[in-house]
Amino acid sequence: MSISVLGAGAFGTALAITLAEKGPVTLWARDTTHCAEMTQDRQNARRLPGHVFPGDLNVCADIEDALQATVLLLALPMQALAGFVAQHDLSRKTVVACCKGMDLTSGRGPSTLLVDAGQVAVLTGPSFAGDIARGLPTALTLACADADTGSALQAQLSTATLRLYRTTDVVGAELGGALKNVIAIGCGAVMGAGLGTSARAALMTRGFAEMQRLAATMGAEPETLMGLSGFGDLVLTCSSDQSRNYRLGEALGAGAPFDPAITVEGAATAQALEPLAAQHDLPVCAAVADLVQGRIDVGQAMARLLARPLKEE
Active-site annotation holds for 100: no
Q: How many residues in total does the chain contain?
A: 313
d(CA 270, CA 125): 19
- Which SS3 state, helix, strand or coil, does residue 240 take? coil
Give the CA count within 13 Å in the CB-facing half-sphere of 119: 18
CA 98 and chain centroid, separation: 7
End-to-end CA distance of the chain: 48
Q: What angle, 0 to 180 degrees and rounded to 10, lies between the N-to-C axes of helices 170-192 and 197-217?
A: 160
- Catalytic hit among 22, 93, 100, 180: 180
| CB 61 within 8 Å of CB 31 | yes
| CB 159 within 8 Å of CB 19 | yes
> Which are the contacts of 281, defined by CB distance < 8 A and separation ≥ 6?
210, 213
- Catalogue the active-site residues: 180
